[in-house]
């Protein structure tokens, strides 16, 4: 008979805090001492890269920051990677946020990639940070219908005086919409993709990928899958960054959890097979 | 402007708050409670400022410039505040009904298309692809998976016979979906932990790490002394 | 011919048919046709959870999630509030402590109204405690932090999460588990369902959320709406089967209809 | 009156938005667009309700000297600081951004990252081979995890391919069925609302 003190019981009922501690160590250690496992590049990342490569120089691209600060560790490395790509291809970038934290990251991306945001000589000409529009999907609909509905940019400048906004009348003028999101892309497909035919690229958290896939490749032309997608894109734009560094920590953490799942099942199965005897 | 010192203080502050929040993983305690309440105050206050800015920029300014349309939402939303009145409580329902009407209307119209008819359209796959067993099998799994999972939710009666088999297949497909979604999310959440750990490795936040380790050690020793009986395992 | 937006005709036709089917069923039930619905274990478990909190004399926590009244989350919030009405009536009868938390301030008046009316309907208006209705924060994870704190500090016995949830679902559900609460999760946000599946005792999967309020009301007219869901489901399935069979033989009638 | 008027407002606006989506009628499209912006402003104004009741709860807790009143005081002080600084300096001011970056951002990420820890403990506990369903759930989750992290590829190069197949084929089927069902459920709820049977959202408790 299996008793309460039995080893199988112990295996099946490990204190969650032991798991928490080991998980923390498995993430923290490889960040200090990376072991450098190779990262392959997946097709959706390649198609994202190719689509942006194929845009004629000077095309208008909208980066929609529907991201909260909480998903920044996953999404911001993506933003940095593709903003670099947009800059290298000399495309015009309109940054707009549908989450209140978005404008800060939009600003940070400009500073990281261009070296400055609102004080950059090309601000208002090659890129702009329109700031946050409250109201979720309803706001997206309004913006898609008339991007000039926004009166002032994030820094309080009058938007109508800025060169980049002049040719805009509706979302039809956008050559690409990059959705940076940890919540959903369906709303962007509904308000930009379906009614205005704007191609969409998802710079999304790994969670969201299952929700993006039904739209790929018809409405969503490509997507980056969380931190891994960022690590892949960093390789494509030849700008290795924090995403690549994090991949070893990912490997260790995944391995740890799978080991715990196995251990738990060993305890469970042994107890179950013993019981009838 | 913000100088170097402010930057260091910022790193220390955010590192400290991260560790305070993480102390919850050991157990709910005063330190984690303080972090929680700082967070509640800061985040809510920030939300208020952004909402106020939105109303000011997008309604108050246009109204002041003579666009009278904006008086409608501004005034009608004041009815929401009758919520605090005992007598005319119900007046809050008028603006709420408007928000719900518009909010639901937008989503129900678009969703019926995006989530139902577009999905049917995407699933109209041939059940047999000549000389391509791989795609034939995939199509069959998708089509019967969708049908099975749809039927699985059938509310009107318990299913029997072949429809039961189809619904069971649907149930298994749903389980695969849930498992896959869970597996995919895990990487995302680990990314968040990576982000936090990386921020703690930056000097001077790194000096907090040994401090935190000592405090947790003391807390564990304290708890052990207090109750010599074995602690609850696995939660419940 | 109506001036349709491009590519929506098929959807409009199906919307009209589906709505018509549901409306006809509602009218039929008003005339006394009582629809049959199978037992939905996860929804029945709501009453079990209330019973458990009552026995233990500890609070029941209810949250409609972080949703508000517009956009994608609106219907889930509304469905959650509909269940809250039922829950509040029960806890009013049993005098179980109730805590309702939420993240969108505009839903506060509705929630207060629903809970107050429920206490009134149960004949116990004096038992209503205004402190039980708690707006936490508009910000997603600040809300989460607040709820997690409440689950532990107030020793919640039953935790009902019924409405719109996003990334916080696993945090609230696992914190509820660690606090020892019996838990029911319900959301139509598909990619959060797995977290409720692993951490909750019972889960209302996607559309069951929308059926829950009607099911609990036991009102024949509302139950008819659930039957309506089944009819529309069968219509969708019929289109699928016909379309796939035709597609197998290279006939694209149905596919063409969906391009209209 | 107290119910019929709000119900009428809801019905009219739902129908207006549905018509707006399907039909190109300039008058309707313009009116509908104006309403969508108007409700954004209205819900932004509603934030005041939250602040009033939040303050009420915490002040009451402090005044009545209930447990955790120190925490309540901390909450109210931080709340006041964030509102006042934002109101005086504006939300784009460097100091305000500094406060946001160093207080809200780390707490946002720390709180969200708890999900990683909790997924690990939940997976350990729930992924047991108790039934056929549980086994399928477990196997799918583990394969996809191995397909995601580079370590999976290091074990067997097939993991990413198998994981991608799971995501592309069975998962697509499952997700489609779920979201189709949701659209149907949502329609059913809306019809119940419009027919005046589902009144919970008007505060009458279903």
Query: What digits encode the pLDDT tens for the residues D104-149?
Result: 989 999 999 999 999 999 999 999 999 999 999 999 999 999 998 8
In this prediction, residue B231 carries a pLDDT of: 47
- Name the minimum distance, in Å, from the CA of C223 to any CA of chain D: 10
Query: What string of H, E and C letters represents the secondary structure of B92-151?
Result: HHHHHHHHHHHHHHHHHHHHHHHHHHHHHHHHCCCCCCCCCHHHHHHHHHHHHHHHHHHH
Report angle CA C93, C99, C103 to the nearest 5 degrees: 135
pLDDT at position B229 is 54
The distance of A180 to chain D (nearest Cα, Å) reads: 17
Write out chain D residues lying below 8 Å of B55, CB-based: 41, 44-45
Do residue B155 and residue C153 have CB atoms under 8 angstroms apart?
A: no
Is B206 in CB contact (< 8 Å) with chain D? Answer: no
The more confident residue out of B225 and B231 is B225
Contact between chains at A151 and B57 (C-beta distance less than 8 A): yes
Q: What is the pLDDT of residue B232?
A: 46
Q: How far apart are CA B184 and CA B176, in angstroms?
A: 12
**Would you tell me how many other CB atoms lie within 10 Å of the CB of residue A118?**
17
Q: Is the pLDDT of residue B72 over 80?
A: yes
Nearest-angstrom CA–CA distance, C69 and B117: 24
Peptide bond into C73 cis (omega under 30): no
Run of H or E including A181: strand A176-181
Q: Are C137 and D104 in contact, with CB atoms under 8 Å apart?
A: no
CB–CB contact C167 A16 (8 Å): no
Q: Which of C138, C146, C149 sits opposite B28 (nearest CB)?
A: C149
Query: C68 and B36: CB-CB below 8 Å?
Result: no
All residues of chain B having their beta carbon less than 8 Å from the beta carbon of residue D45 are: 51, 55, 73-74, 77-78, 80
Q: Which chains touch A (3 or more CB pairs under 8 A)?
A: B, C, D
pLDDT of residue B236: 34
Is C71 at the interface with chain D, CB within 8 A? no
Put simply, the answer to whether C140 touches A70 (Cβ < 8 Å) is yes
Question: Which chain A residues are Cβ-neighbours of D123 within 8 angstroms?
Answer: 257, 260-261
- Between CA D54 and CA D62, with CA D58 as vertex, the angle to 5 degrees is 165
Chain B's closest residue to C197, CA to CA, is B178
C-alpha D139, offset from chain centre: 29
C61 interface with D at CB cutoff 8 Å: no
Q: What is the ipTM of this complex?
A: 0.91
**Confidence category of residue B233, pLDDT binned at 50, 70, 90:** very low
B227 pLDDT more than 80 = no
Interchain contact D176–C (C-beta under 8 A): no
- B107/A250 Cβ within 8 A: no
Distances (CA, A) of B8 to A31, A32, B206, D96: 22, 21, 11, 17
Give the list of residues 6+ apart from residue C22 with CB closer than 8 angstroms, or none: C225, C228, C229, C231, C232, D187, D188, D191
Q: Which of C111, C123, C65 is nearest to C85 (CA)?
A: C111
Helix axes D105-126, B4-22, angle to 10 degrees: 30
Average pLDDT, integer, range B138-144: 95
The segments of chain C whose pLDDT lies below 50 read: none
Report the pLDDT value the prediction gives residue A4, as an integer from 0 to 100.
56
For residue B26, give how far its alpha carbon lies from the nearest alpha carbon of chain D (Å). 12
Give pLDDT, residue B4. Answer: 60
Least confident of A152-166, B43-57, D21-35, D53-67: A152-166
> Would the CB atoms of B198 and A242 count as touching at under 8 Å?
yes
* Contact list, D134 vs chain A (CB under 8 Å): none
Report whether C184 contacts C212 (CB < 8 A). Answer: no
B7-37 pLDDT tens trace = 789 899 999 999 999 999 998 899 999 999 9
Closest CA to A72 of A205, A248, A239: A205
Contact B37 D78 (CB under 8 A): yes
Asked if B108 and D101 come within 8 Å (Cβ–Cβ), the reply is no
pLDDT at D199: 80
Are C167 and A182 a contacting pair at CB < 8 A?
Answer: yes
Predicted local distance difference test score (pLDDT) of residue D128: 92
pTM of the predicted model as reported, rounded to 2 decimal places: 0.85
Residues in chain B: 236
In angstroms, how far is CA A9 from the centroid of its own chain?
41
Alpha-carbon torsion C51, C52, C56, C61, what sign?
A: negative
> What per-residue confidence (pLDDT) applies to B147?
96
Considering only the beta carbons, identify the residue of A40, A71, A248 that sits closest to D153. A40
Q: Give the neighbours of chain B: at least 3 Cβ pairs within 8 Å.
A: A, C, D
* Residues in chain D closer than 8 A to A14 (CB atoms): 124
Tell me, what's the pLDDT at A3? Answer: 53
Q: Does A261 touch chain C (CB under 8 A)?
A: no
CB pair distance less than 8 Å for A20 and B115 = no
Say whether B115 and D179 touch across the interface (CB within 8 A): yes
Q: Do A70 and C191 touch (CB under 8 A)?
A: no
pLDDT mean across residues, chain B: 88
Closest-CA residue of chain B to C230: B154
Longest dimension (CA), chain A: 83
**Of A276, A277, A274, which Cα lies nearest the Cα of A6?**
A274
Query: By three-state DSSP, how is residue A193 classified?
Result: helix
Backbone angles phi, psi at A191, to 5 degrees: -95, -25
HEC secondary structure over chain C: CCCECCCCHHHHHHHHHHHHHHHHHHHHHHCCCCCCCCCCHHHHHHHHHHHHHHHHCCCEEEEEECCCCCHHHHHHHHHHHHHHHHHHHHHHHHCCCEEEEECCHHHHHHHHHHHHHHHHHCCCHHHCCHHHEEECCCCHHHHHHHHHHHHHHCCCCEEEEEEECCCCHHHHHHHHHHCCCEEEEEECCHHHHHHHHHHCCEEEECHHHHHHHHHHHCCHHHHHHHHHHHHHHHHHHHHHHHHHHHHHCCCCHHHHHCCC
Size of interface A-B (CB pairs under 8 A): 111
Question: Residues in chain A with pLDDT < 70?
Answer: 1-5, 275-277
Contacts of B181 in chain D (CB under 8 A): 171
Nearest to C22 by CA among B112, D174, B163: B112
For residues C70 and D39, the answer to whether their CB atoms sit within 8 Å is yes
Among residues B187, B201, B190, B186, the alpha carbon closest in space to that of B19 is found at B201
- 8 Å CB contact between A23 and D120: yes
Q: What is the total residue count of chain C? A: 260
Rounded CA Rg of chain B: 28
Q: Which of D91, D150, D179 should one mutate to test binding to chain A, selecting the residue with the greatest count of A CBs within 10 A?
A: D150
Domains of chain C: 9-33+221-257 (no CATH), 41-216 (3.40.50)
Return d(Cα B13, Cα B102) in angstroms, integer.
Answer: 42
**C62-86: per-residue pLDDT in tens?**
999 999 998 788 999 999 999 999 9
DSSP chain D: -TTHHHHHHHHHHHHHHHHHHHB--HHHHHHHHHHHHHHHHHHHHTHHHHHHHHHHHHHHHHHTT-TTHHHHHHHHHHHHHHHHHHHHH-TTSHHHHHHIIIIIHHHHHHHHHHHHHHHHHHHHHH---SSHHHHHHHHHHHHHHHHHSHHHHHH-THHHHHHHHHHHTHHHHHHHHHHHHHHHHHHHHHHHHHTT---GGGTS--
Which stretch of A111-120, A206-215, B106-115, D153-162 has the lowest confidence by average pLDDT? A206-215
Helix axes C207-217, C74-94, angle to 10 degrees: 40
Mark yes or no for CB contact A73/B234 under 8 Å. Answer: no
The reply to whether A191 touches chain C by the CB within 8 Å rule is no
What is d(CA D75, CA D68) in angstroms, rounded to the nearest whole number?
A: 11
Separation in Å, CA of D200 to nearest CA in chain B: 12
Cα separation, D39 vs C110, whole angstroms? 17
- Asked if D108's CB is within 8 angstroms of A69's CB, the reply is yes
- Facing B191 at nearest CB: one of A13, A151, A246: A246
Which of B24, B110, B138, B187 to substitute to test the interface with A, most A CBs within 10 Å?
Answer: B187
Q: Are B63 and B74 in contact (CB under 8 A)?
A: yes
Average pLDDT over residues D149-171: 90
Contact A68 C178 (CB under 8 A): no
């Amino acid at each position: 008979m299996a008793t309460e003190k039995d080893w199988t019981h112990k295996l099946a009922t490990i204190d969650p805090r032991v798991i928490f501690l080991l998980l923390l160590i498995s993430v923290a250690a490889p960040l200090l001492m990376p072991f450098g496992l190779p990262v392959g590049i997946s097709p959706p990342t390649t198609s994202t890269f190719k689509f942006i490569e194929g845009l004629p120089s000077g095309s208008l691209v909208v980066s929609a920051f529907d991201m909260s600060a909480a998903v920044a560790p996953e999404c911001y490395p993506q933003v940095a990677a593709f903003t670099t790509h947009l800059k290298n291809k000399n495309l015009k970038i309109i940054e707009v946020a549908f989450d209140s934290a978005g404008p800060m990251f939009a600003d940070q991306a400009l500073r990281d990639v261009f070296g400055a945001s609102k004080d950059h000589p090309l601000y208002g000409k090659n890129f702009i940070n329109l700031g946050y529009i409250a109201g979720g999907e309803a706001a997206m609909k309004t913006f898609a219908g008339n991007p000039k509905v926004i009166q002032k940019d994030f820094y309080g400048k009058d938007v109508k005086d800025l060169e980049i906004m002049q040719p805009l009348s509706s979302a039809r003028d956008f050559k690409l919409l990059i959705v940076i999101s940890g919540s959903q892309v369906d709303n962007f497909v509904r308000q930009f993709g379906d009614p205005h035919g704007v191609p969409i690229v998802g710079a999304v958290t790994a969670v969201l990928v299952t929700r993006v896939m039904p739209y790929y490749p018809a409405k969503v032309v490509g997507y980056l899958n969380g931190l891994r997608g960022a690590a892949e894109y960093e390789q494509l734009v030849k700008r290795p960054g924090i995403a690549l560094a994090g991949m070893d920590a990912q490997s260790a953490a995944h391995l740890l959890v799978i080991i715990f799942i196995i251990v738990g099942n060993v305890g469970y199965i042994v107890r179950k097979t013993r019981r009838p005897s | 402007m913000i100088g170097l010192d402010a930057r260091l203080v910022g790193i220390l502050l955010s590192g400290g708050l991260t560790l305070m929040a993480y102390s919850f993983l050991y157990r709910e305690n005063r330190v984690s409670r303080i972090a929680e309440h700082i967070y509640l105050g800061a985040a809510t206050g920030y939300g208020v400022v952004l909402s106020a800015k939105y109303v000011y920029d997008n309604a108050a300014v246009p109204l002041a410039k003579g666009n009278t349309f904006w008086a409608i939402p501004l005034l009608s939303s004041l009815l929401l505040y009758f919520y605090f009145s005992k007598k005319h409580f119900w007046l809050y329902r008028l603006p709420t009904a408007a928000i719900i009407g518009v909010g639901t209307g937008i989503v129900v119209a678009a969703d019926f298309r995006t989530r139902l008819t577009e999905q049917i359209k995407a699933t109209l796959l041939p059940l047999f692809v000549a000389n391509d067993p791989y795609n034939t099998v995939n199509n069959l799994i998708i089509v019967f998976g969708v049908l099975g999972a749809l039927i699985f939710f059938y509310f009107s009666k318990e299913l029997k016979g072949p429809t039961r088999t189809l619904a069971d297949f649907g149930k298994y497909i749903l389980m695969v979906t849930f498992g896959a979604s869970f597996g995919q999310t895990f990487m995302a959440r680990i990314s968040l932990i990576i982000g936090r750990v990386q921020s703690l490795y930056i000097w001077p936040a790194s000096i907090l790490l040994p401090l935190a380790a000592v405090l947790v050690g003391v807390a564990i020793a304290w708890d052990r002394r207090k109750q010599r009986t074995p602690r609850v395992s696995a939660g419940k | 011919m109506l001036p349709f937006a491009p590519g929506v005709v098929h959807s409009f036709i199906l919307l009209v048919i589906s709505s018509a089917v549901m409306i006809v069923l509602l009218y039929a039930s008003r005339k006394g046709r009582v629809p049959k619905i199978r037992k939905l274990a996860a929804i029945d478990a709501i009453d079990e959870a209330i019973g458990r909190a009552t026995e233990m004399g500890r609070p029941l926590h209810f949250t409609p999630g972080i949703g508000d009244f517009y956009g994608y989350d609106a219907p889930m919030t509304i469905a959650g509030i509909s269940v809250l009405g039922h829950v509040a009536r029960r806890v009013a009868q049993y005098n179980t402590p109730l805590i309702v938390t939420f993240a969108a301030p505009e839903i506060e008046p509705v929630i207060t109204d629903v809970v107050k009316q429920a206490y009134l309907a149960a004949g116990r208006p004096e038992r209503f405690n205004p402190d039980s209705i708690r707006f936490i924060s508009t910000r997603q994870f600040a809300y989460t932090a607040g709820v997690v704190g409440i689950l532990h500090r107030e020793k919640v016995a039953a935790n009902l999460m019924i409405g719109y949830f996003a990334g916080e679902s696993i945090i609230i559900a696992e914190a509820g588990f660690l606090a020892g609460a019996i838990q029911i999760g319900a959301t139509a946000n598909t990619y959060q369902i797995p977290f409720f599946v692993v951490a909750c005792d019972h889960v209302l999967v996607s559309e069951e959320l929308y059926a829950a309020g009607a099911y609990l009301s036991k009102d024949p007219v509302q139950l008819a709406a659930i039957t309506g869901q089944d009819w529309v489901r069968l219509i969708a399935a019929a289109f699928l089967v016909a379309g796939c069979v035709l597609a197998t033989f290279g006939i694209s009638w149905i596919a063409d209809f969906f391009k209209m | 009156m107290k119910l019929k008027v709000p119900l009428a407002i809801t019905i009219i606006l739902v129908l207006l938005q549905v018509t707006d989506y399907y039909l190109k009628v300039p008058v309707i499209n313009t009116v509908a667009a104006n309403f969508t912006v108007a409700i954004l402003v209205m819900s932004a104004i509603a934030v005041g309700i939250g602040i009033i009741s939040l303050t009420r709860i915490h002040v009451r807790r402090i005044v009545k000297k209930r447990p955790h009143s120190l925490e309540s005081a901390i909450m109210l002080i931080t709340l006041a600081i964030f509102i006042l600084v934002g109101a005086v300096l504006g939300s784009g001011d460097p100091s305000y951004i500094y406060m946001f970056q160093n207080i809200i951002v780390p707490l946002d990420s720390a709180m969200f990252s708890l999900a990683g820890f909790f997924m690990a403990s939940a997976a350990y506990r729930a992924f047991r081979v108790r039934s056929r369903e549980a086994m399928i759930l477990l196997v799918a989750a583990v394969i996809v995890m191995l397909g995601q992290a580079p370590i999976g590829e290091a074990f067997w190069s097939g993991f990413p391919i198998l994981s991608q197949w799971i995501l592309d084929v069975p998962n697509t089927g499952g997700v489609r069925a779920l979201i189709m069902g949701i659209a149907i459920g949502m329609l059913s709820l809306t019809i119940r609302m419009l027919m005046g049977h589902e009144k919970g959202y008007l505060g009458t408790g279903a």
